[in-house]
Amino acid sequence: MKKAVGLASALVMTLSIAAFARAQEPAPIPGTKEEAVRELTKITGAASLGRMVMDQMREAFQKSIPDMPASFWDNFMAEVRSEEMEDMLVPIYSKHFTLDELKQLIVFYKTPLGQKVIAEMPVVMKECMTAGEEWGRKIGDRAYRKAEQQRSKTKS
């Protein structure tokens, strides 16, 4: 269950940066940080992450709590408001970005390059995570070998 929650967190982070944007009519320029964050989350697809994450995690929940019928999970999922995820993102983005920076991000993500970043980031992040796991294994193996060498020296 902890692994599923960790994976969901990674998924949320990745998708908040990289979900596909939908074509939309030009929105009015946001006047507040909250409006700017909500606009940015719509452009990047992060606004719909709550539902996507819950849909992804439903299977993990069902496996970890196998004695609950499908109707339980249907009812539970019906109670989940995807807006809750967006509500949680507002203070995070507001803490890390000024209103001007948020407006610049909105402009950027509407450009062809911004759209490419949104489209490519899930694959880039997945490849980076794979590379990080491989690096971690190599370091772990190296640490284990050095520890064994140290133990051998200490016993001699």
Count of domains for the chain = 1
100 lies in a domain?
Answer: yes
148 lies in a domain?
Answer: no
Q: What band does 18 get if pLDDT is binned at 50, 70 and 90?
A: very low
Backbone region of residue 45 per phi and psi (left: phi > 0; alpha: psi in -120 to 50; beta: other values): left
151 lies in a domain?
Answer: no
Q: By residue range, what is the domain housing residue 71?
A: 2-121
133 lies in a domain?
Answer: no
Comparing C-alpha atoms, which of 21, 27, 25 is closest to residue 42? 21
Q: Identify the helix (H) or strand (E) that includes residue 131.
A: helix 112-155
Cα separation, 110 vs 30, in Å, equals 14
Cα separation, 47 vs 14, in Å, equals 13
pLDDT digits (tens, 9 = 90+) for 51-110: 777 778 888 888 899 899 989 988 888 887 878 888 999 999 999 999 999 999 999 999
28 lies in a domain?
Answer: yes
45 lies in a domain?
Answer: yes
126 lies in a domain?
Answer: no
Cα separation, 45 vs 32, in Å, equals 20
154 lies in a domain?
Answer: no
pLDDT digits (tens, 9 = 90+) for 113-138: 999 999 998 899 899 999 999 999 99
